[in-house]
A and B are shown apart, each in its own frame.
Chain A
Amino acid sequence: MNSLSSADIVQGRSLWQDAMARLWKNRLAMIGLYILSFMVFIALLTPWIAPYSYEAQKLDMGAVPPNTQHWLGTDTFGRDLLTRIMYGGRISLAVGFIATAVALLIGVLWGAIAGYIGGRTDAIMMRIVDILYALPFMIFIILLMVVFGRSILLLFLAIGCVEWLTMARIVRGQVLAVRHQEFVDAAVVLGLSHWQIIRRYIIPNILGPVIVYITLTIPSVMLLEAFLSFLGLGVQPPQSSWGLLISYGVETMEEYPWLLLFPGLVLSITLFSLNFLGDGLRDALDPKASKD
């Protein structure tokens, strides 16, 4: 599989080029990437390309099945479902990306500091992670939403604060492994500063696992948001998200099944794409760990 042509040998390929080439060949991951890019693209452009206004109601029309004017039908207030799914997608994707970013920030800092300093600091910091790990977080997020009101900002923070733990563990393990490599010793002997070592050796080496973990965190965060919104504890109307649309769909699914099926389909396809992309990235960046 990895037979190198003479051109490759002359040019040389970095680890990243190698990984990208592997990802490019993984058909499922690429499909995931395309679908995801499409979803993000649509979400960004929604205010300009949505077929109807978000709030426009036609009460006399009510819920109609998909037709040429309303491609995915309308809900019981006569609102265009496609428009609502597009706007809901903005929130669902935003929660996915922003909460993951919060998790990334905390997790990488925590893990890197613990791993780089090592010793007792490391022991204490990872002990804290262990304790937090044992907490049932789903329940705590619900508690937070109940106690502090159901604001979307809190949702970002609460989910982000939960998801950073695994990130911290991964980063710490990676930093620890890199830190004891001989090339880092060599850099220390050569008199490089801490910051230079971190920038030149540590960061490039932890980037792979972190990217993989990000792509796998986004779908679990989106799932969490949808779960909370479904229970009525997440995103609140008039804002909308896919989880909220699904919960409305459930109420009326007997008469108007499309109100459940379309939002559900869109959510599932997005989660599918993210999972395939994450799996593909893992295979590409770390061929050794491509099992399970």
Chain B
Amino acid sequence: MLKFIGSRILQAIPVLLVVISVTFVLVRLAPGGPFDAEKAVSPYVLEKLNERYNLDAPLHVQFIDYLSGIMQGDFGPSFKFPARSVTEMIAAGLPITFELAFYAMLVALLIGISAGLLAAIRPNTVQDYVPMSVAMIGICMPSFLMGPVLVLVFGIWLEWLPVSGWGYSPGDKILPAITLGSTYAAYIARLTRGSMLEVLSQDYIRTARAKGLPTQTIIFKHALKGGLLPVVSFLGPAIAGLLSGSFVVETIFQIPGLGRFYVQAAFNRDYTMIMGTTIFFSVLIIFFNMLSDIIAAYLNPRLKLGDKQ
């Protein structure tokens, strides 16, 4: 197990290096200098600016400086808000984005697993068709549509819930969490149904039934552990999706999280901020993918033997 974890961590290192270098090169390749858009800047000021952002050094020196900065958690100053560092802005936005992703994940798991179980217990009945059709709607209705529609119905027409904000008024976290979680609830429902159906047809379940165990015991004690394996492997990609989904949801609901900062930085062409957040998001996503691989391997030892299919 330790060996497996070690090898997964080792695999992540080249990926991280690729991420950092590709990001660095891409941003440097951007047509025009970072200060071209500003009004005419005097040569002296330009020189000072280049010095401040370390742009006067040769490219490879810049890269190594940047790399060693990252190692110390320093992503440099923001281009657009020179008074603030990128690290500060990430630190300000991250807890909010995490909280949002956490609630969304809760929504996704609760709704997804229960719907999938309901469907798998009585396949090809109404109890199967209704949750699975709703799940299909969840998959086909992207968050940038789901969010506004929910706001329109529950916020504006019914006036049950606040339409935006995060922690300003009671209940304003409900709609963002549902919006972000709905797609993943749908995927999890489908995954749960599929794998539960497979597990429930196994011999050991038949044995349990033959022993006369009650259905609840069979499902929750014997079938669920195996049946939720695909869900566990899906968690890594799901968290990655939740983080990029936060771009849209935070924009719609005006939540001051990392996702909204990222979109704003992309608009303002705030290059250091884009680099910093890109690398930071990448690290998070790679980390969560790794974590879900490890948990999946722990739950299903067959995976460790290189049987990666």
Taking Cβ atoms with an 8 Å cutoff, the residues of A that contact B are 130-131, 134-136, 138-140, 142-149, 173, 219, 223, 226-227, 230-233, 243, 246-247, 249-250, 253-254, 257, 260-261, 264, 267-268, 271-272, 275-276, 291-292
Main SS class of interface, B:
helix
B263 touching A231, Cβ below 8 Å: yes
Partner of B281, one of A136, A253, A267: A136
CA distance A232 to B140 in the complex (A): 21
B70 within 8 A of A: no
Q: What are the residues of chain A within 8 A of B26 when measuring CB–CB? A: 143-144, 147
> Given A246-B144, A253-B148, A143–B252 Cβ distance below 8 Å?
no
Instruction: Report B174-188 residues with CB < 8 Å from chain A CB.
Output: none
Main SS class of interface, A:
helix
CA distance A148 to B96 in the complex (A): 30
Instruction: Report B277-295 residues with CB < 8 Å from chain A CB.
Output: 278, 281-282, 285-286, 289
> Given A254-B156, A260-B152, A292–B194 Cβ distance below 8 Å?
yes
Nearest residue (CB) in A for B147 is A250
Q: What are the residues of chain B within 8 A of A233 when measuring CB–CB? A: 263, 266
B29 touching A227, Cβ below 8 Å: no
B278 touching A143, Cβ below 8 Å: yes
CA distance A9 to B180 in the complex (A): 53
Taking Cβ atoms with an 8 Å cutoff, the residues of B that contact A are 11-12, 14-15, 18-19, 22-23, 26-27, 29-31, 136-137, 139-142, 144-145, 148-149, 151-152, 156, 190-191, 194-195, 197-198, 230, 240, 243-244, 247-248, 251-252, 262-263, 266-267, 269, 274, 278, 281-282, 285-286, 289, 309
A260 touching B149, Cβ below 8 Å: yes
> Given A134-B15, A226-B144, A243-B144, A140–B22 Cβ distance below 8 Å?
yes
CA distance A264 to B244 in the complex (A): 21
Listed residue (A135, A139, A226, A291) with the most chain B CB atoms within 10 angstroms of its CB: A139
> Given A134-B12, A143-B26, A275-B136, A227–B148 Cβ distance below 8 Å?
no
CA distance A135 to B279 in the complex (A): 10
* Number of A-B residue pairs with CB-CB distance less than 8 Å in the complex they form: 118
Chain B's nearest CB lies how many Å from the CB of A52? 25
A139 touching B197, Cβ below 8 Å: no
Partner of A139, one of B191, B198, B252, B282: B282
23 A–B contacts from the bound complex (CB under 8 Å): A134-B289, A136-B282, A139-B278, A140-B22, A142-B247, A143-B23, A143-B27, A143-B266, A146-B30, A146-B266, A226-B142, A227-B142, A231-B251, A243-B144, A250-B148, A253-B151, A260-B152, A264-B141, A264-B148, A264-B149, A272-B136, A291-B197, A292-B230
Nearest residue (CB) in A for B148 is A250
Q: What are the residues of chain B within 8 A of A130 when measuring CB–CB? A: 11
Nearest residue (CB) in B for A141 is B244
CA distance A238 to B140 in the complex (A): 27
A223 touching B142, Cβ below 8 Å: yes
Q: What are the residues of chain B within 8 A of A250 when measuring CB–CB? A: 144, 148, 252
CA distance A254 to B148 in the complex (A): 10
CA distance A243 to B144 in the complex (A): 9
CA distance A292 to B198 in the complex (A): 9
